[in-house]
């Protein structure tokens, strides 16, 4: 038997039962706020995560992020946008001043457009999109393979006679 390790997950209770004839045949009830995952699955997950971090997409993302972090003009624009966003919240909530809210929203829009026009920012945004797409593809593939496996197992079980005493 493989070792298990708890990880937090969604909070749903499942009550699955096998045959209703015998209490020993009942599948245990799981509260999956804490699910125990076999160590071999966690080890393979770490391997997959390592492989993902060595992809060209992730490498480009990391390089783009470094360029953005070290770019003085970009960091200045980000700081201005954050300051304007704080002003916006103040005028929305504390002062309830619609005219100033509109003015600040326009200023933020201009700053955001200026930021978005910088090639390094465009490269960073594209690399973010690429990494997210890669991760979504991997998750979808895993989901599809598991679903296919479950469908095959269900079909085999449906063909076999149920053994409940």
Question: For 41-52, what is the mean pLDDT?
Answer: 96
How many CA atoms are closer than 13 Å to the CA of 38, on its beta-carbon side?
Answer: 5
- Same domain, yes or no: 47 and 127: no
Residue 40's pLDDT band, with cuts at 50, 70 and 90, is very high
Q: What mean pLDDT is reported for the chain?
A: 86
Measure CA 5 to chain center: 21
Last residue of a domain, one of 102, 117, 132: 117
Task: Quote the CA–CA distance of 77 and 75 in Å, as a whole number.
Answer: 5
Q: What is the pLDDT averaged over residues 71-87?
A: 98
CA nearest neighbour of 4 among 45, 42, 37, 52: 37
Mean pLDDT, residues 82-97:
95
Q: 73: which 2 tokens? A: 């003009």
Looking at the structure, tell me whether residues 63 and 77 fall in a common domain. Answer: no
Residues 13 and 79 in one domain: no
Q: Based on the domain organization, do 79 and 156 belong to the same domain?
A: no
Sign of the dihedral through C-alpha 9, 13, 18, 23: positive
Note whether 108 and 132 are same-domain residues. no
SS3 label, residue 15: coil
Same domain assignment for residues 61 and 102: no
Residues 165 and 125 in one domain: yes
DSSP character for 23? Answer: G
Same domain, 13 and 88: no
The percentage of residues in the chain with a pLDDT greater than 90, rounded to a whole number, is 66
Q: How many domains are contained in the chain?
A: 3
**Number of Cα atoms under 13 Å in the Cβ half of residue 155:** 6
For the cut 90, the answer to whether the pLDDT of residue 10 exceeds it is no
Determine the structural domain holding residue 93 and report its residue range. Answer: 72-117
In this structure, are 85 and 109 located in the same domain?
yes
- C-alpha 54/C-alpha 48 separation (Å) is 10
Q: What is the pLDDT confidence band of residue 147, given thresholds at 50, 70 and 90?
A: very high
Same domain, 97 and 129: no
Tens digit of each residue's pLDDT (9 = 90 or more) over 23-33 = 556 776 666 66
Residues 59 and 38 in one domain: no
Higher pLDDT, 157 or 82: 82
Q: How many residues does the chain have?
A: 165
- For the segment 107-133, the average pLDDT, to the nearest whole number, is 98
Helices (H), 6-165: 39-53, 56-70, 72-89, 98-116, 119-159
Does residue 137 share a domain with residue 155?
A: yes
The bridge status of strand 4-8 relative to strand 13-14 is unpaired
What are φ and ψ of residue 7, in 5° steps?
A: -135, 150
């Amino acid at each position: 038997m493989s070792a298990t390790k708890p990880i937090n997950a969604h909070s749903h209770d499942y009550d699955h039962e096998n045959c209703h004839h015998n209490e020993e045949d009942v599948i245990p009830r799981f509260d999956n706020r804490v699910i125990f995952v076999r160590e071999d699955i966690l080890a393979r997950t770490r391997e997959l995560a390592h492989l993902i971090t060595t992809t060209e997409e992730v490498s480009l993302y990391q390089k783009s992020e470094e360029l953005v972090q070290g770019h003085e003009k970009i960091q200045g624009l980000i700081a201005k946008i954050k300051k304007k966003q704080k002003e916006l919240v103040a005028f929305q909530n504390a002062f309830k001043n619609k005219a100033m809210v509109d003015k600040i929203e326009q200023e933020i829009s201009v700053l955001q457009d200026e930021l978005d026009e910088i090639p390094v920012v465009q490269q960073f945004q594209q690399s973010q999109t690429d990494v997210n797409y890669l991760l979504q593809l991997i998750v979808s593939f895993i989901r599809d393979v598991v679903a296919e496996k479950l469908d095959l197992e269900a079909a085999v079980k449906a063909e076999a006679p149920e053994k409940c005493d």
